Amino acid sequence: MAFGNYIRKLREEKQLLLREVASQMSIDTALLSKIERGTRIARKEQVEDLAEALNESENELLKLWMADKIVKMIKDESNSTEILKKAEEEIKNLTNKKQ
């Protein structure tokens, strides 16, 4: 499930209004609406604020948010899976080198 849909679901489960959450995040309801609908990408600090406002794990939300950004980036490529595989491979190499 895309990041936006996910946080909308969370918000609705907790029966919070856009304006309540947006206010806690110090942003306009319009902006939060767009984030939930996926027409705007949240900034990292906003994801952190969201975790706070929704009482959810910041790490987990950040993870979904980043995954979402990756998906947006490559979803229209025919070889998106290969791209991810290559990225994974590179990451593995990096972490080995780091040690």
Comparison of 19 and 63: residue with beta carbon closer to its own copies = 63
Q: Are the CB atoms for 74 and 83 separated by under 8 Å?
A: yes
Restricted to residues 51-80, the positions that interact with its own copies (CB under 8 A) are 59, 63-64, 66-71, 73-75, 77, 79-80
5 in contact with its own copies (CB under 8 A): no
Determine the straight-line distance between the first and last CA of the chain, rounded to whole angstroms. 34
Which of DNA, its own copies, none binds 57 (CB below 5-8 Å, type-dependent)? none
Q: Name the H helices within 1-99.
A: 3-13, 18-25, 29-37, 44-54, 58-74, 80-98
- Tell the smallest beta-carbon distance from residue 61 to DNA (Å): 16
**Contact footprint for DNA (CB under 7 A):** 17-19, 26-31, 33-34, 36-37, 39-41, 43, 46
37 in contact with its own copies (CB under 8 A): no
Neighbours of 55 (CB within 10 A): 8
